A and B are shown apart, each in its own frame.
Chain A
Amino acid sequence: MRLLADIVLMPLIAFITGLFLVLMYRRVRAKIERRVGPPFFQPVYDIVKLFAKKTQISHGVMHDLSIVLLLGGYITAEIFLPVPGFKGLAEEGDLLTLIYIMMVPMLGLALGVGSCANPNGSIGISRALTAMLAYDVPLAVAIIGATMTYGTTNLVEIVRIQQEGGMATWGIATMPLLAIGGYLAVHGMFGKEPFEIYIAPAEIATGPMVEMSGKYMGALFIMQCFQLYTIGVLYVTLFLGGGENWPLFLIKVAAVVFISVAVTNVYGRYRTDKVVRWMWKWPTGIALLGLALVMAK
């Protein structure tokens, strides 16, 4: 029974938090551009509007299934996240499982976009996967370093270790270099400038989203909510001590997203190969240094 509640509530909370994060993202962006920004319910309006479209264009069964996989993959990921007050299933899978579950929606989306038969979409996926290869290397180093430090891949344990020792045992304090490298990777994961090569509206017409309309697009908007939340929680869990209680936890998650949003506006867009080079050079270098320090301890 408790599990059932978790399965329903955890993704729901993730979604609602995600809506706030999207709102924050758009508001902050507007403020930086000296605009007013969207109204409070804007993320909800967008999603409802898209689902309420009266004609829905599909490019075949795989196109539909990809959306299902996309939502399913992220909902699964939410249930495996350690959040305050919920047991979820964080004990049954671990950090490694979570990382790979997070790739399921990505693969699902990629398959659906491919079946739209639009080369803009295919290019978008090609770039998205290349970007993934780029940012996942430093992320992997950071994650490995963190698990080496904590001595476990059990997410609940990782959170417990940091909370029992207080701020001084937070990942960001015990392994600052890994935290920095990991953060740069996370910024890439958010897919914001200068790493938004796979959206690139002026180049490839929003890449994966080019043929997405109506509820297909709506599902992508939902995915964005989940994505911001999941990545934020992952980083908070690894480096910021996880959540003691909901308010603190949400503040931390919001902070992770906020920093990324706050810096993104000043950048242009990198070329794909530049992204790979940059990611493999700076964040990976920093993280490797951090890993070496961790290993030397």
Chain B
Amino acid sequence: MSELDFLFAFAAVLIAGVMCCGRDGRAGWAAMAVYGAMLVAVMAAAGKVAGGSIPSALGFSVLGHKIGWRMDGLGWFFSMLTAGAAFFASWYAAGEWGRAQPGMKTQHLLLALNVAAMLLLVNAGDLLSLFIGWELVSWAAFAMMAQKGGPAQPAAMRYMIYALAGAMAVLAGIMIVHAVTGSFAYKDFAAAFGAMSSGMKWLLAGLFAAGFGVKMALMPFHLWQAAAYSETPGASSAFLNAVSARMGLFALILVLVKVMGLSALAGLHVPLIGLSAKGLLMWIAAFTMVIPTFIALMQTDARMLLTWHGIGQGGYMLLGVLVGTGLGTAGGLLHVFNYATYQMALFLAVTAVIHRTGTSDLDRLGGLITRMPWTYVTLLMGIIGLAGLPPMNGFVSKWMIYRSLLDSGSAFLLIFAFVGTLGTILSVYKLIHNIFLGRLRPQHEGVREAPWSMVAPMLALGGIGFVTGWFPGLALNLTDIAQAAMGAPELPHGLGGVATARGSLNMIWVVSILLVAIGFGAIVFYFLGNRRYEVNQLNNYAGGHFLSPQVPYQFSHEFYPGLARVIGPWYRGSIVRAEQGIGTLLDVSGDLWRGIYHLAWTPLYLLAATVIALGWAIMGGM
């Protein structure tokens, strides 16, 4: 049995275990232990995947094609993220939060299923197993969103429509590949791709990019994800956001970058506008960075805001990977890792707020900093990472992406990257301000800090973010393995960051100096001047007005009115209208589908659909 088999076995055991005794109060802790063991197993396999790949005994053969699974560096990297995210999510859910949830058994089960599906996807050994994994992840995520009685069902339906459309495109692509090469193996595809006509190349690249892009919520397909992910219950939604949202990126990297090759894409020219297929994808990534970020800025719900940012951050990762240099690829992959840490921390923190106050509506919170200080600290670390400011890890990966864009001379793309970051800063400040700063509402007087079972994993994630920001070399060691597997150029780096001839970054210095300087600031502040006296919130300047809790004295609704006046019309004109249009379309088609989905247990259909699809693919390929 190889390490990969161990992983699959862990996942299977966990599913079986949760099925039989998921109702037990200790199930959560047991699940956390298994995910922890998985993480350890993945880490232990690092040495092995660095040189080659780990095969799995799992596999079957269809009409003479051997379909199997094997773990290479890229799969390893994503397996690690999956296991890690599942570990923290289950840790969070194991204690008080899980007990407070109705139907926690289902949630345990769904998380286990999602993890298993992700593992099957990221360790796929050929196109067909990739598709199987792809479908499994789609359906597992669907099941997670559409938990019985959950508020996310309409959103999940919408997700399904998109997912099915994407799957069709992918399936068509695989069929064509099979028709041309007669095989599902990556290497046959890679070998044959170079010789294909450029029309064929365009078709394949388009099909795969569209199919995978849907899952990544790339620009024209970005409308489904926010609603679907944000309504999912807390810990699960953190997992979905941190990891499942990245499966599109994984598949894109695998098929477009690794198999087809960036140089092949760069050789595909779009007539008239002078862009290559690679350039086109980069611009799509650039728009994905900016537009969802500004949509996030307009949100009034904490989870919606974060999910929209997740979509936007996906643009950074794709952009970095597409640049294709050692720095860019490492930056993109590092951003996947960093994003997983801070997005998870953010979602868990917001879930803690929901757990205590019952809402994530940014217009109905405020002043919780005195009540939930540790949650505040987590959220603060998370937003610094998300905004990409030093000293958190988000800065390092973004710096690498900026730097690689500069090196490749893509000035205009870099402007987009900057603008996306600026928008993120605005939006995350609104997030933290409206929840934690400002006036405490009277009804939140009695709110207490979340229990340690929730705070500890959040802080741990924040801590990982800080440590990998201080010593980015630690995380870069991980991306190295994935990078080698992608065939991307290597990136020489030290513990503190990257040194290039045209500008370097040494985070050990940056963060250490920042800490020293903050120490100076503390000396100036705390040792000069008289002692401070802490006053109550109502002792506040109000132009001579006497404040009382009955006087609302808080600024949170429409937090950026000036900006809203500039981008608001555009936002309402295009985004909201498009949302409504799609909503209507989905209602119509949803009525048709709903009958089928709601009749019985969905995974049954999952199986049926996969089998039918597979059969179709193979027949079509014959």
Contacts and interface: CB of A to CB of B under 8 A. Distances in A.
B559 A68 contact: no
A84 to B, nearest CB: 20
B403 A96 contact: yes
Interface string A92-109: 111111001101100100
B406 A100 contact: no
Nearest to B423: A133
Interface stretch (B27-35, B116-124, B281-289, B529-537): B529-537
B560 A93 contact: no
A71 B534 contact: no
B203 interface: no
A59 B433 CA distance: 15
Main secondary structure of the interface of B (DSSP, over half): helix
A289 B503 CA distance: 25
B410 to A, nearest CB: 10
A153 B532 contact: no
A295 B411 contact: yes
Contacts of B518: 68-69, 71-73
Nearest to A214: B529
B446 interface: no
Contacts of A192: none
A71 B415 CA distance: 29
Contact of A148 (B390, B411, B418, B565): B411
A119 B530 contact: no
Interface residues of B, number: 80
A75 B521 contact: yes
Given A89-B513, A94-B504, A273-B562, A205 B543 contact: yes
Contacts of B562: 126-127, 130, 197, 271-273, 275-276
Contacts of B520: 11, 71-72, 75
Which one of B380, B506, B531, B541 has the greatest number of beta carbons of chain A within 10 Å? B541
Contacts of B367: 117
Interface string A255-297: 0000000000000000111011100100000000001001100
A251 to B, nearest CB: 27
Given A69-B518, A130-B563, A111 B530 contact: no
Contacts of B521: 67-72, 75
B609 to A, nearest CB: 45
Interface in A162-220: 197, 205, 210-211, 214-215, 218-219
Given A96-B399, A154-B502, A197-B562, A119 B438 contact: yes
Interface residues of A, number: 89
Contact of A103 (B370, B425, B560): B425
Contacts of A61: 373
Contacts of A43: none
B419 interface: yes
A152 B528 CA distance: 41
Interface in A39-61: 51-61
Given A76-B517, A130-B562, A153-B406, A94 B505 contact: yes
B438 A93 contact: no
A248 B273 CA distance: 48
A38 interface: no
B533 A55 contact: yes
B437 A111 contact: yes
Contacts of A272: 561-563, 565
Nearest to B521: A71
Contacts of B429: 107, 110, 114, 125, 129
Contacts of B389: 100, 103-104, 107
A97 B510 CA distance: 8
Interface in A133-161: 133, 136-137, 140-141, 144-145, 147-148, 151-154, 157
Interface string B268-300: 000000000000000000000000000000000
A110 B522 CA distance: 18
B411 A144 contact: yes
Given A7-B513, A119-B438, 13 more contacts: A59-B535, A68-B522, A68-B525, A71-B517, A103-B387, A117-B553, A117-B554, A118-B540, A129-B429, A145-B411, A154-B504, A210-B541, A273-B562
Interface of B: 367, 369-370, 373, 380, 384, 387-390, 395, 399, 402-403, 406, 409, 411-412, 414-415, 418-419, 422-423, 425-426, 429, 432-433, 436-440, 501-506, 509-510, 513-522, 524-526, 528-535, 537, 539-543, 553-556, 559-563, 565-566
24 contacts: A7-B517, A11-B517, A54-B530, A55-B530, A56-B529, A58-B533, A58-B535, A64-B526, A68-B526, A76-B513, A89-B513, A96-B403, A97-B505, A103-B389, A107-B387, A107-B429, A114-B429, A114-B437, A118-B541, A119-B553, A129-B429, A132-B426, A137-B419, A137-B422
Interface of A: 7, 11, 51-62, 64, 67-73, 75-76, 79-80, 89, 91-97, 100-101, 103-104, 107, 110-111, 114-120, 122-123, 125-127, 129-130, 132-133, 136-137, 140-141, 144-145, 147-148, 151-154, 157, 197, 205, 210-211, 214-215, 218-219, 222, 271-273, 275-277, 280, 291, 294-295
